[in-house]
Chains A and B, each alone.
Chain A
Amino acid sequence: MKFKTKTSPFLNSSQNINSVMLQVLLALIPGTLTLMYFFGTGILLNVIISIVFAVSLETLALIIRKRPLLPFLSDLSAIVTAWLFALTLPPLMPWWIIFVGIFFAIIIAKHLYGGLGYNPFNPAMVGFAVLIVSFPFEMSQWVHPRTFGDLGAYDFSLMEKLSFIFGNQKPAWDAITMATPLDEVKTGLRAGTDFSSVMKESSYLQTLSQNTWLWSSLAFMLGGIWLLYKKVIQWQIPVALLGTLFLLSAVFYLFSADSFASPLFHITSGATILGAFFIATDPVSASTTPVGKLIYGASIGFFIYIIRVWGNYPDAIAFAVLIMNMAVPMIDYYTQPRVFGHKPSFFSSGATQRKQDKKL
Chain B
Amino acid sequence: MIRLVVVALLVAVAVLGGYAVLNSGPESGTPAARADLLLPIAAGDLSGFRRAVEPYDWRFPDDHGPHPEFQTEWWYYTGNLATSTGRHFGYQFTVFRRAATTEPLASDSEWRTNQLYMAHFTITDVEDGRFYQAQRFSRGAAGLAGATVDPRYRVWLEDWEVTALDDQARRTAITAASSEAQIRLELEQLKPPALQGDRGLSPKSDAAGNASYYYSLSRLATQGTLTIHGETFTVSGASWMDHEFSTSALSAGAQGWDWFGLQLDDQRELMVGQIRLADSGIEPAFGGLLIEPDGSTRPLASSDFSIEPTGTWTSPHTGATYPAGWTITVDTGAESQLMLVVTPLVPDQELIEGAIVYWEGAVRITGDATGYGYAELTGYESAMRQRF
A, B bound: no
